[in-house]
Amino acid sequence: MLFGRLTFKMRAVASLLLLSILIGLGACDEDNCETSSGSNSEEGERTKNITLNCGRDFINLGTVVYCRTDTAACSDAAMADSAWECGGANVTDLVRERCDDETTCMVELPNSLGDPCPAIYNYTNVTYSCKAFPQNLTFVRNYTFRFIDLNGFTTSLRITLNSKEKTFIWVPCLEIKGWFQEPDDDNLSVELDKTNCSTITVFSSANIIVHGIVESGGAITGGFLALPNDYLGKEYLIDVYTPEIGTSPQAAITAINDNTNVTIDCVSSNCTIDGNVSGNIILNTNDSVLLQTESPTTLTGTLVRADKPISVVVGSIKVRIPMTGEEHGVIIEQLIPVSKWGRVHFVPPFQSATNGWVIRVSAFYQNTNVTLSQCGNDTLQHEMLSRQKYIDIEVAENMNNYVCMIISDMPVQVMQYMESSSRDQYGDPSMILIPPTQDFHGNTTLRVENGNDILQYVDFITTESGKDSLKLNGNAVSNLTGYCFNLTEDLQEIVDYGHSPVQGYCYFYKKLTNGVYYVTQSDQSEKFLVRLYAQTFAVGGAMLADLSFQEPEMLNITAGPTTATDTTLAATTEMSDAEKQRSLSARLQGGFQNYGEAEAAMSAFTDYLGDREELGSVDDLDFAFDYFTRVLKHKPLEHATGDNAQSFLNLSSGPMSVLYADKTNQLLAKACEYGTGLKSTPEHAQKELEVLMNDAAALIINGGTSSFGVTTKNAAVAVSSTRSATSSAVATESSVCGGALDLNLEGVHIPCEVIKELDSRASYLINLPHGAEAVSRSSCKYDENETIVSSPLLGVGLISERSKQNFSSNITLTFLTTADKTEPTYNNTLCSYWDNDARNWSTSGCYLGDINVTDNGTMVTCLCDHLTSFAVLLDVSGTDIPPQDEFAMGIISWVGCSLSIVACFLTIFGYTFLRLHSDLILIHGNLALSVGLAEIVFLCLNLVKHPSIPCTVVGALLYYQLLVMFAWMAIEGIHLYLLTFVVWNAERRKFKYYMACGWGIPAVFLIVLLSVYHDDLERGIATSCFLGLESGSNGNYSDPDGNLSLLFFMIPVAIVIVFNLFVMIRVVLQIAKMADGPTLQSDVKSRVRHGAKAILILLPIMGLTWAFAFLAIERASVAFQYIFVLLNSFQGVFIFLVHFVRNSEVRHALKRKRERWLVSQSRQGDYRVKNTKKTSSSAVDKTSSSMAKTPEQTMTLMNMNTEPVFPVCIPDENDN
């Protein structure tokens, strides 16, 4: 709603009065149009003054230029022939700081400006516009409230600046709009015009304090601290003393948003709203109503609820406290919402109150335990209050040296009433809300204005640690009259959570005279309470000085007034999560006495969840599902109407969307993994939700509504009549059903035969996209290796007095499947329903109808002969492989991998022992190392829990090791190709480059993969530990939210296999061509034999056996899977046998080792017998010399055949 709808008529929002003020327009004289003498003398540069005036609007300066731009302005005969074009001096910045955002301003150009245009008549040109609000204005405080009806009394508004900075204040109904700064704020105490100010709105650019004042004969007789809109709430419990017969207790209710639904649960049967019967009302922004009841009926205990924040001001006139008191008076107070109540309250005494006061404690929650200390007597009192009940404690005037301490186990509301007195005694009826200690505040400002004959007091309650640093106008508050007190051990034990463990507090008071007082606390961590009250023989009132309103959200005003709705800020609570949950749970004690209590319980749950879209932890999940399930178990619609049912489903849809978000499934998996026992689960909630929908459908259809539905992000519910066609339920008449109708809901077709059998009048539908998986995980029996959920949860029901299952005709359900990796087939698709008794999915009575692939995805049609909650499951247990074959392959894998690991490390040890250092041997060694490590990690993969963080880590290591393995296979192919077909320079070894590529490139792939898919790892490990190939939310792999991480493995592997296949073919052809030399070129059999032998030798090191991996995926034949398992499990064994045991270089190295050993043994033998067999020494030396001179052996090119194909010299250890 625009501010223009307010009572006073504003000028245009931005009236863009483009003014060009030319000095001396019309008659020009020397003072305004001046010819410069050409010098910088003072006489030639006079000060130019112009007044800018926007009335009640604000200046938005354009430009200010001292110059001449044409001959028309300020012209005379003396300048007719002179030059006139001159850019002049732009002095905008000089003027802007002074004039912008002011209503009036004097433009003064200083003499120091000089003469920008010598020998030319100059003038000043100003352009500006007038706007309704200053530029870039930010409102940080806004208030909306209404006084009760106070005929015969004067009401006024008192605004106190609580900031030293300039503050912009706008009060539309009082036409106050402008900048204020101390001490120029005397104009902020204004009497209200009851005609124009039925609803008061106040906006401020800085922190202010607003009080509503009631006066009688110029003296205060009542008042209250106004609460800013961001502190307001949706639920209030009225507390107001009942006046004498003939007048009424009142509650003024004001909305701060459009379309605010207000429900009043009045404790009296004769409550009225603006003279009409009370009930549900809808208010728009700034609309207000007056709730009343006839005396002596009370309003105390009446519950006021709304779906958006509202303001509630209560009060009465002609009140006697107690009702037998001598004199009556006015009481008034603005209530704080239930969400702001607290558990610890300190009630200071009234000084000079002849008859004392009454302390009233009201409970909102059932069975609230309240402990009172020094409240009326010295004993400790214990009380238990029922919901919406209160207790009054009368306190005598002689207790004015005691602070009443009130501690409760649930939040309560505390009100203090000053009792009536006779005309010759001090004490006038007044009421003041006692805030909980959580709302103690910081630095504040007091404004005291009253008659001189009235006693005016200020009270302080502060912590003992903060008393010395608390100042009143610079003087220590601790020097005032007062005392300190401690919480007893009994009280301290009650304050067990959500409250600072402070034990010592102090109370001080002081009489005040009129004026402004500053209350400051140098220690910003210390908070305190300040209240004001005044009293005389006939009048008096009490009110809070300030509260600790939480920091509001900033609201920017840039182009004039905005809507009042925009200035509304949602109130939030300072309670801890534990206190919030405890407060919520208290609502469910004893069940719901009426629909209002049920709605309040769900509304409070909605407030608790706030703007969350999902639950954050297992503890959150445990409480949320337990509370939601308990609300539904309490039969919330037992006392409801059709409209109530619709309202409740609307209210419940938000929490349902949060509860059944996808994150819930992750939290359930964690709860099962950690063994966390949950009080309630989605399974329990779903069962109660079906009952709720059954009740709601009956109420809604009986109420005359043919269809109703509400949809949120993660939940949708709908109700439809079975006896008429609507836009959401298209019905087709069937002649065989005697007029009954087929019913087509969203994804559900119910034939007319079923509707006729049950004589159903209504149906309901529940659609939870993530609900089926949530229900599956509830019992911790969900095994994704066996079955996976592939559809939303569809709950379907018909409202009928008859109970019948196994219908004569089947219900048709159509699901859009959601499984990412497994496509539905006729072999793996299970049409299922949730069996509440078995607590598991069952297919009894349901079977698969059809599977259709559409542009939107795969549609599965199921046929079932009963109604409940349904879903599509996919069997992924791998039943396409016979169990015996799967077992055999497992044994082969374990045995083969174990032997391969041993063989790989034997190969590495052998190369090292024999000191073989050729590039080819080193490549073989690194390949053996990578194969051995990959198979070790592969075996470890079967030992980690799936899914889990260790699973992801092992998966990442396996990915890296497999890429390393294929990198070295590629290097095998590259090196073999270079040796065979490229002129080789033995002096330039390539191995250092091979090492960098073989171990470095896979690391680069891993880093890139982690950076691209780090957000998807948690989701991806659910089925594959690390890599995945999943379509996005739209069913396409190209979607931004799809997972293509598996391609980071498949593509490099495919490239290596294709390249090595090319190399192998070329090499095999070359070997076959040269088999046994040129004399046997025509021997085909010899070439074939050598070619086949080369293939068998190359396969293990070239990675070509992995080609069978592409043939072993999906539903390939068992034969390919056996081949893949055999070849790759024993890969390390093949490498050991072919490239170590049968390697010619290895055999020559072994031969050299043996010869050297024989030589050493021979020399030892000669030494032992040299003195007895000297005649044979020369022969032995000859033999030894011959052996010692054995050279490095000539090796074959390939190092893979047992016989040379064609000789080549390879480098020795010194690269010679």
| Distance of alpha carbon 533 from the chain centroid | 44
Residue 1185 to residue 68: CA distance in whole angstroms: 116
CATH fold of the domain at 889-1135: Rhopdopsin 7-helix transmembrane proteins (1.20.1070)
Average pLDDT over the chain reads: 76
Lowest mean pLDDT among 99-113, 256-270, 341-355, 1028-1042: 1028-1042
Residue 1166 to residue 818: CA distance in whole angstroms: 84
Cα dihedral 967→972→978→984 (10° resolution): 110
Give the pLDDT of residue 1189.
Answer: 34
Give the pLDDT of residue 1140.
Answer: 83
| Distance of alpha carbon 140 from the chain centroid | 25
Give the pLDDT of residue 348.
Answer: 93
Confidence band (pLDDT; 50, 70, 90) for 894? confident
Give the pLDDT of residue 559.
Answer: 35
Give the pLDDT of residue 252.
Answer: 95
Range picked from 259-273, 980-994, 1091-1105 for highest mean pLDDT: 259-273
> Which tokens belong to 271?
């409550």
Instruction: Give the class (CATH, top level) of 3-132.
Output: mainly beta
For 573-594, write each residue's pLDDT tens digit.
345 677 678 777 777 766 787 7
Domain ranges of the chain: 3-132, 141-544, 640-649+671-875, 889-1135, 1145-1198
Give the pLDDT of residue 550.
Answer: 46
Give the pLDDT of residue 736.
Answer: 52
Residue 799 to residue 700: CA distance in whole angstroms: 11
Beta-bridge mates of residue 332: 315
Question: Of 81, 80, 88, which is closest to residue 115 (Cα–Cα)?
Answer: 88
Q: Per-residue pLDDT averaged across 909-926, rounded?
A: 84
Give the pLDDT of residue 53.
Answer: 86
Instruction: Give the class (CATH, top level) of 640-649+671-875.
Output: mainly beta
Give the pLDDT of residue 1026.
Answer: 63
10 Å CB burial of residue 913 (0-12, 13-18, 19+) is exposed
Give the pLDDT of residue 1196.
Answer: 43
Residue 445 has pLDDT above 80, yes or no: yes
Residue 150 to residue 192: CA distance in whole angstroms: 12
Give the pLDDT of residue 225.
Answer: 92
Q: Higher-confidence residue: 140 or 422?
A: 140
- Measured between its terminal Cα atoms, the distance across the chain in Å is 94
For 843-877, write each residue's pLDDT tens digit.
888 878 888 888 888 899 998 888 899 999 988 87
For 945-990, write each residue's pLDDT tens digit.
554 567 778 878 888 888 898 888 888 888 888 877 775 554 456 7
Give the pLDDT of residue 275.
Answer: 75
Tell me if 599 sits within 8 A of 651, measured CB to CB. Answer: yes
For 607-616, write each residue's pLDDT tens digit.
888 888 899 8
Q: Per-residue pLDDT averaged across 1130-1138, rounded?
A: 84
Work out the angle at residue 538's Cα, subtended by the Cα atoms of residues 535 and 544, and round it to the nearest 5 degrees.
30
Q: Per-residue pLDDT averaged across 329-346, rounded?
A: 90
Residue 739 has pLDDT above 60, yes or no: no
Give the pLDDT of residue 246.
Answer: 72
Work out the angle at residue 596's Cα, subtended by the Cα atoms of residues 595 and 602, and round it to the nearest 5 degrees.
90
Tell me if 422 sits within 8 A of 329, measured CB to CB. Answer: no
For 774-808, write each residue's pLDDT tens digit.
999 988 888 877 888 989 999 998 888 777 667 87
Residue 902 has pLDDT above 70, yes or no: yes
Lowest mean pLDDT among 793-797, 879-883, 1206-1210: 1206-1210
Q: Higher-confidence residue: 1103 or 281?
A: 281
Q: Higher-confidence residue: 1207 or 1085?
A: 1085
Give the pLDDT of residue 787.
Answer: 85
Q: Higher-confidence residue: 924 or 1094?
A: 924
Residue 400 has pLDDT above 60, yes or no: yes
Q: Higher-confidence residue: 151 or 91?
A: 151
Q: Per-residue pLDDT averaged across 1106-1128, rounded?
A: 68
Give the pLDDT of residue 889.
Answer: 82
Residue 347 has pLDDT above 60, yes or no: yes
Angle between helix axes 919-941 and 949-981 (nearest 10 degrees) is: 160
Range picked from 12-21, 558-567, 766-775 for highest mean pLDDT: 766-775
Lowest mean pLDDT among 418-427, 509-518, 641-650: 418-427
φ, ψ at 436 (rounded to 5°)? -70, 160
The CB density around residue 27, as the number of other CB atoms within 10 Å, is: 9
Q: Percent of the chain at pLDDT above 70?
A: 73
Q: Per-residue pLDDT averaged across 709-731, rounded?
A: 73
Residue 1048 to residue 1032: CA distance in whole angstroms: 17
| 3-state percent breakdown (helix, strand, coil) of the chain, nearest 5 | 35, 30, 40
Give the pLDDT of residue 416.
Answer: 92
Give the pLDDT of residue 212.
Answer: 92
Q: Percent of the chain at pLDDT above 90?
A: 18
Residue 1187 has pLDDT above 90, yes or no: no
Residue 1016 has pLDDT above 90, yes or no: no
Residue 152 has pLDDT above 60, yes or no: yes
Residue 721 to residue 860: CA distance in whole angstroms: 26
Give the pLDDT of residue 1072.
Answer: 67
Q: Higher-confidence residue: 1155 or 23?
A: 1155
Residue 1106 to residue 1111: CA distance in whole angstroms: 9
Give the pLDDT of residue 1111.
Answer: 62
Residue 1167 has pLDDT above 60, yes or no: no
Residue 17 to residue 3: CA distance in whole angstroms: 21
For 10-36, write each residue's pLDDT tens digit.
333 333 333 333 333 322 333 334 333
Q: Higher-confidence residue: 1103 or 1007?
A: 1007
Confidence band (pLDDT; 50, 70, 90) for 1066? confident
Q: Per-residue pLDDT averaged across 491-506, rounded?
A: 63
Q: Higher-confidence residue: 641 or 987?
A: 641
Lowest mean pLDDT among 289-293, 523-527, 587-591: 587-591
Residue 810 has pLDDT above 90, yes or no: no
Give the pLDDT of residue 1186.
Answer: 34
Residue 562 to residue 600: CA distance in whole angstroms: 32
